[in-house]
A = this chain, B = another copy of it.
Amino acid sequence: MSKDQAIAQLIKVFRQYGYEGTTLARLSKATGLGKASLYHYFPGGKEEMAATVLESANSWFETTVLKPLKADSEPEKRIQAMSQKINEFYCQGQETCLWSVLSVGEARNLFNSQIENILKIWIDTLTQVLIEAGVEPQEARQRSEDGIIQVQGALILVRVLNNNSPFQRVLERLPKVLLGELSHLQSS
C-alpha cells in the first residue's frame, strides 16, 4: 500500500472518530498496516497523520472545489460546479466534515489555524464570484458565509437524524441562495 492509499484510509478514521477518538489501533486496522509501519510513513505519529490527512483534504478541496470557482465561465455555472463537488467532498452528506471534528478539544490547538485558513479562502473565493455576478461586496460576503453555514449545519442534522435529505436540499438550492434568486437573506 502506497502512502497516498494509506492517507485515503486514515482520513476515514479521523472523520468518524475525531482526533482523540482516533487510536493507532484503529488506524492500523483501517490501513492493514502494523503500528510500526505507520510510524515508518509518519515518524511524527498520530499528530503527523492528522496533519497530513488535513493537508490532503485541503489540497483536494482547493483543486476540486475552489479551482472551478475561479474559472472563466458565468458565475452561475461556477457555483453549480462547486455545489456538485461539495456533494462529492462530503459523499452526499454521509461523511462528517473533517474540519469540524478537528476543531474540538486538543485538536483545536493543533490544527485550527490550518482550518481557519482554508475556510477563509473558501469564503473569499466565493465572495469574489458573487461580486462578479453583480452582488454588493458586503452582501456577497454575508451570503458566502451563509452558504457555508448551511452546508455545515446540514451535515450535523444529517448525522443526528440519520437522513441525508436536508443536505441534498441545501445543496440543490445553494446556487439560488448565493445568487439571491430567492431574495434570500438580503440584509434588508
Contacts of A101 in B (CB 8 A): 104
Flag whether A119 is at the interface (Cβ < 8 A): yes
A99, A101, A160, A177: most-surrounded residue (chain B CB, <10 A): A160
Main secondary structure of the interface of A (DSSP, over half): helix
Residues of B within 8 A of A161 (CB): 116, 119-120
- Chain A 158-169: CB-based contact to B (< 8 A → 1; otherwise 0): 011110001001
Please report which residues of chain A, range 111-162, place their CB below 8 angstroms from some CB of chain B when the two chains form the complex.
Answer: 112, 115-116, 119-120, 142, 145-146, 148-154, 156-157, 159-162
Most buried by B among A17, A105, A120, A183: A105
Interface residues of A in 1-59 (CB under 8 A from B): 16-21
Query: Chain B contacts of A166 at CB under 8 A?
Result: 145, 149
* A96 proximal to B (CB < 8 A): yes
Interface residue A77 (Cβ < 8 Å from any Cβ of B): no
Judge whether B116 and A160 touch: CB under 8 Å: yes
Of all chain B residues, which has the CB nearest A184?
B184
A103 touches B156 (CB 8 A): yes
Contacts of A105 in B (CB 8 A): 16-18, 21
* CB<8 Å pairs between A and B, sample of 22: A16-B104, A16-B105, A18-B18, A20-B21, A100-B156, A103-B159, A115-B160, A116-B160, A119-B160, A145-B157, A145-B166, A149-B150, A149-B154, A149-B156, A149-B157, A150-B153, A153-B153, A153-B154, A156-B156, A182-B184, A182-B185, A182-B186
* Interface residues of A, Cβ cutoff 8 Å to B: 16-21, 96-97, 99-101, 103-106, 108, 112, 115-116, 119-120, 142, 145-146, 148-154, 156-157, 159-162, 166, 169-170, 173, 177, 182-186, 188
